[in-house]
């Protein structure tokens, strides 16, 4: 889990990038932990995950690569992207 100050900064960057309270609540429900990112279960989840991944990436677009990778948003974006890829691979197998 990230430090409280990191979370406050992440929340501010996400709000500036257009995230809404529902998105912030979802990230809060994960404890801002990339390891807690749930599986994509259906097409609606996949669409919501893609939208959140875009918001996370937009929030850290101004940071260096290393800063993005270390940020709570960058870690969550990577985890969400991996869940989306797993879902897409599952669809290809079906």
Residue 90's pLDDT band (cuts 50, 70, 90): confident
Q: Is the pLDDT of residue 52 over 70?
A: yes
70-88 mean pLDDT: 96
Total domain count, the chain: 1
CA nearest to 54, candidates 29, 84, 31:
84
Q: Is the pLDDT of residue 3 over 60?
A: yes
Domain encompassing residue 46? 4-93
Q: Is the pLDDT of residue 65 over 80?
A: yes
Mean pLDDT of the chain: 93
Structure pTM?
0.90
Contacts of 83 (CB under 8 A, 6+ apart): 37, 38, 39, 40, 49
Q: Which two tokens stand for residue 57?
A: 């990436």
Q: Tell me the C-alpha distance between 53 and 19, whole Å.
A: 10
pLDDT for position 72: 95
Q: Residue 14 CA to chain centroid, in angstroms?
A: 10
């Amino acid at each position: 889990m990230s430090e409280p100050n990191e979370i406050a900064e992440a929340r501010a960057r996400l709000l500036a990038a257009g995230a809404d309270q529902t998105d912030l609540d979802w990230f809060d429900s994960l404890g801002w932990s990339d390891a807690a990112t749930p599986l994509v279960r259906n097409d609606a989840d996949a669409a919501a995950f893609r939208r959140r991944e875009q918001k996370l990436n937009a929030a850290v677009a101004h940071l260096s690569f290393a800063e993005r990778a270390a940020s709570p948003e960058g870690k969550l974006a990577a985890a969400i992207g991996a869940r989306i890829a797993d879902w897409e691979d599952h669809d290809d197998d079906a």
